[in-house]
Amino acid sequence: MIQFYTPDIEETLTLPETESGHCCRVLRLKEGDEIESVDGRGHRFRSEITLAHPKHTKVRILQRTDVEPARRHKVTLAVAPTKNIDRIEWLLEKAVEVGVDRIVLVKCEHSERKNVNCERLEKIIVSAMKQSLKASLPQFDGFVQLKEFLKGEAEAVSAGDGKQRFVGYCSDEVERRSLAGEYAPGSDAVLLIGPEGDFSPEEIDMALKSGFTAATFGEMRLRTETAALYGLQSVHIANDIAHAHAEK
Amino acid sequence: MIQFYTPDIEETLTLPETESGHCCRVLRLKEGDEIESVDGRGHRFRSEITLAHPKHTKVRILQRTDVEPARRHKVTLAVAPTKNIDRIEWLLEKAVEVGVDRIVLVKCEHSERKNVNCERLEKIIVSAMKQSLKASLPQFDGFVQLKEFLKGEAEAVSAGDGKQRFVGYCSDEVERRSLAGEYAPGSDAVLLIGPEGDFSPEEIDMALKSGFTAATFGEMRLRTETAALYGLQSVHIANDIAHAHAEK
The per-residue pLDDT for A22 is 93
Yes or no, beta carbons of A181 and B236 under 8 Å apart: no
- Using only C-alpha atoms, chain B has a radius of gyration, in whole angstroms, of 20
| A176-180, B75-79, B145-149: least confidently modelled range | A176-180
The per-residue pLDDT for A7 is 94
Arithmetic mean of pLDDT, B172-185: 88
B22 touches A: beta carbon within 8 Å: no
Yes or no, beta carbons of B229 and A181 under 8 Å apart: no
A127 touches B: beta carbon within 8 Å: no
The per-residue pLDDT for B24 is 93
The per-residue pLDDT for A65 is 94
B44 touches A: beta carbon within 8 Å: no
A219 touches B: beta carbon within 8 Å: yes
Yes or no, beta carbons of B244 and A180 under 8 Å apart: yes
Global pTM? 0.90
pLDDT band at A70 (very low <50, low <70, confident <90, very high): confident
Arithmetic mean of pLDDT, A218-247: 89
Yes or no, beta carbons of A223 and B97 under 8 Å apart: yes
Structure-model confidence comparison of residues B73 and B220, the more confident one: B73
Yes or no, beta carbons of B241 and A238 under 8 Å apart: yes
Mean pLDDT of chain B: 93
Q: List the 61-100 stretch of A: residues with Cβ below 8 A of B.
A: 70-71, 90, 94, 97-99
Arithmetic mean of pLDDT, A172-191: 91
Q: Considering CB atoms only, which of A98, A178, A180 is closest to B220?
A: A98
* pLDDT single digits (tens) B215-225: 988 777 889 99
The per-residue pLDDT for B96 is 96
Chain A interface, best mutation among B129, B225, B233, B239, by max A CB count within 10 A:
B233
Helices (H), chain A: 9-12, 17-21, 85-98, 118-131, 146-158, 179-182, 201-209, 224-247
B233 touches A: beta carbon within 8 Å: yes
Is residue B248 scored above 80 in pLDDT?
A: no
Chain B interface, best mutation among A230, A232, A248, by max B CB count within 10 A:
A230
Chain A residue with CA closest to B220: the answer is A98
End-to-end Cα spacing for chain B: 34
d(CA B77, CA B232): 7
B114 touches A: beta carbon within 8 Å: no
How close A119 comes to chain B (CA, Å)?
A: 23
Chain B residues inside the 8 Å CB shell of A3: none
Mean pLDDT of chain A: 93
Arithmetic mean of pLDDT, B127-149: 94
Is residue B172 scored above 80 in pLDDT?
A: no
The per-residue pLDDT for A217 is 84
Chain B residue with CA closest to A246: the answer is B181
Q: Concatenated DSSP letters for A65-127? A: EEPPPS-S--EEEEEPPPSSHHHHHHHHHHHHHH--SEEEEEE-TT-S-----HHHHHHHHHH
d(CA A30, CA B42): 61
d(CA B155, CA B133): 34
- ipTM for the complex? 0.86
The per-residue pLDDT for B114 is 86
